[in-house]
Structure 1
């Protein structure tokens, strides 16, 4: 409700109008900028879409699968790709959280590459990725 609508409106009756039948006159309704949102706002707990796009993920998964299976091409279910995507996102988010804690420990708020390297070293991920 906008501030314009908060004041009570006194109806105009037959006593003050030249028309003989009693009725209530209302001003025409109009929309003013800033009265309300144009779209419903989202609650903070709403589910957000996936961070990684699934389209480029499928060819990469297929390429890595071909490298490890010596040329045998396997089919992937959509649910398997979604599960792989969720796991990859969770891994990256957790790694970035640890790296940010490393930057806070160094009394900085900017995330540097050395923070990511330290987080990977503390997690024991030096050899792999």
Structure 2
């Protein structure tokens, strides 16, 4: 009987690696270009500073706090009252062509 050579398999070990920070790409390291020798001069236009970028959700949380503190109405009164009346007409019986009167305090109570 022929014997087959068997290769002993060793379990793969996971090497402990430290987290690597992303490397910066050095596109041109030579100083022969005109951009590297150019210095800022008094007559050069100044580039405007970039506006601050907040992390996602920071501005939203700030707006939530702002609106929770305020007591003013976020929607204007007349457009809101039109929408309320329109919805009330849709819900009521379509056969009844009766116009309903609304108290302004009732609509304001709905809006708050």
Give the TM-score normalised by the residue count of structure 2.
Answer: 0.32
The structure with the largest helix share of the pair is: 1
Higher relative contact order (CA 8 A, sep 6+): 2
Give the TM-score normalised by the residue count of structure 1.
Answer: 0.28
